[in-house]
């Protein structure tokens, strides 16, 4: 079975912690992510470290994540989507059934 795309603010607290700890999202530009500077330090396009626009909670609510049937974060695909894509995917899934 394929992973399901679920909005970040609809994940369980345990799933949210798993997403926030995942290496694939270590570069997220949020106030609570202190690893962001390490990820960006070798980039020529480094954002201004003093200008962190969102909290982890806001970042989660703006994105959707691929979750496996067992409830864990899928690492393939290794990216997240804009939150509205979860609605789109779920609408398409219901039409196909």
Write the pLDDT tens digit of every residue in 42-97: 766 666 656 667 899 999 999 999 999 999 999 888 899 999 999 887 666 656 55
Domain edges within the chain: 4-96
Query: 5: buried, middle or exposed (CB in 10 Å: 19+, 13-18, 0-12)?
Result: buried
Q: What is the pLDDT of residue 53?
A: 75
Question: What is the pTM (predicted TM-score) of this model?
Answer: 0.81
Asked whether residue 6 carries a pLDDT value surpassing 70, the answer given is yes
Alpha helix segments (H runs only) across the chain: 13-21, 36-40, 56-61, 84-96
Query: CB-based contacts of 16: which residues, under 8 Å, 6+ apart?
Result: 8, 60
């Amino acid at each position: 079975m394929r992973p399901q795309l679920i909005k970040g603010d609809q994940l369980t607290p345990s799933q949210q912690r798993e997403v926030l700890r995942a290496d694939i999202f270590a570069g997220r530009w949020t106030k609570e992510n202190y690893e962001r500077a390490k990820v960006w330090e070798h980039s020529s396009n480094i954002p201004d470290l003093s200008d962190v626009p969102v909290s982890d909670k806001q970042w989660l609510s703006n994105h959707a994540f691929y979750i496996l049937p067992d409830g864990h974060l899928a690492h393939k695909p290794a990216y997240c989507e804009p939150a509205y894509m979860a609605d789109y995917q779920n609408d398409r899934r219901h039409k196909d059934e």
